[in-house]
Amino acid sequence: MLTLKQIKEQTEDVLRRLKKKHFEAREYIAEILNLDELRRSTQQELDAALARQNAIAKEIGALIKQGAKEQAEAIRTQVAELKSLSKSLEERKESAEAKIRELLLLIPNLPNEIVPEGSTAEDNVCVKMGGDSPALPEDALPHWELAKQYDLIDFELGVKITGAGFPVYKGYGARLQRALINFFLDNARHAGYTEVQPPYVVNEDSGYGTGQLPDKEGQMYHVGVDNLYLIPTAEVPVTNLYRDVILEEKDLPVRNTAYSACFRREAGSYGKDVRGLNRLHQFDKVEIVCIDTPARSYQRLDEMVAYVETLVTKLELPWRILRLSGGDMSFTSALTYDFEVFSAAQKRWLEVSSVSNFESYQANRLRLRYRSSDGVQLAHTLNGSALALPRIVAALLENNQTPEGIRIPEALRPYTGFDLIPHP
């Protein structure tokens, strides 16, 4: 979340930048500033009341030593009154602080100055492209037809067991999933990321820490009895490893990678855009997370984008990188780059990764700091998909279909153990 200091000292700049995200914050900020004034004035009254209590306590002690017990008892009632007043003031101050935090949680992160203006995905800016789109015959099949023909993925069986959006991978399909997970994890480790295996459920504090709560509460699966949430991405548990932690500057950057299943309730619509693997409620993903100083975080972002580029290149997929517009960015991001791969059979681009810098927004929620020669200050957090599997699998199946079968990219063959998924 934004800091109170930011809002107080840079009010107009905060309002201006939030407009790029199409968020009108003036009423929120006015209320926060009023509450902060109430908090500060209440603190002054509380300090004065506590000081008066201490002074009277000393006076009572002196009177008792002098044997003036009646005088001491006469002013003792003032202490009780001051204690009651102090309790009331403390409650008022805590109420103002809680309301300030509640309002701060509702305000999105400030977009970086280079974020493009715009309200939808149509306003995103393509910054780089690569790879060659295959020339497929007119009768090329989309991945959901290939999955059925080759018996790779059973969407109907998933509906029977759980519901729509929970596919069952079988045979070569299951082996391809496992191969991709290991491929992505090995590449991340070789790039300097430390592998961790996090839980798949988190508590409320973790959800608030990375910004999924309260913003995306309706998109998360909630285990009501235990008040836990199924993770929408490994970003949540991995970043929360550092909640309430003070890191040493010499230990930065911290780089982690993790595989997890991901669970999202986001409602789908109908049609080809959400058919098959295009939109799921459960899917596999490898995540990369980085923590560094504010001075170096945008260098880390560039490195992470360059790293994800190596993955889509190794998989021989046509790709492009988009800088997201203000209206298409997430609540918590300051700057996001999306990776898309081209599906030659569907003739459309499929998003497979988002790489974002959150600056100090998550760190402030997490109380994630680092210690330097200048003292203790908030760190910057970053993360990215490296990569999400469903649309990668969709593009691999569609773009590599041949009369003999589905060809496996060379870099992936040591992980699959086969070069071709043979035609049935």
Q: CA-based angle 31:33:38, to the nearest 5?
A: 95
Per the annotation, does 26 bind a ligand? no
| Number of Cβ within a 10 Å radius of residue 411 | 15
Per the annotation, does 265 bind a ligand? yes
3-state secondary structure of 159: helix
CA–CA separation, 161 vs 145, rounded Å?
21
Q: CA-based angle 226:231:235, to the nearest 5?
A: 135
Per the annotation, does 112 bind a ligand? no
167, 395 in Cβ contact below 8 A? no
345, 333 in Cβ contact below 8 A? no
Per the annotation, does 399 bind a ligand? no
- The DSSP 8-state label assigned to residue 411 in this structure reads G
Per the annotation, does 287 bind a ligand? yes
Per the annotation, does 101 bind a ligand? no
Per the annotation, does 233 bind a ligand? yes
Per the annotation, does 351 bind a ligand? yes
Per the annotation, does 201 bind a ligand? no
Both tokens of 208, joined, read 């608030």
Order the strands of the 194-195 sheet from edge to edge. 125-130, 319-323, 335-343, 348-357, 380-388, 282-292, 254-263, 194-195
Q: Which amino acid is at 94?
A: E
Per the annotation, does 266 bind a ligand? yes
Binding region for L-serine: 233, 264, 287, 383
Binding region for ATP: 264-266, 351-354
Binding region: 233, 264-266, 287, 351-354, 383
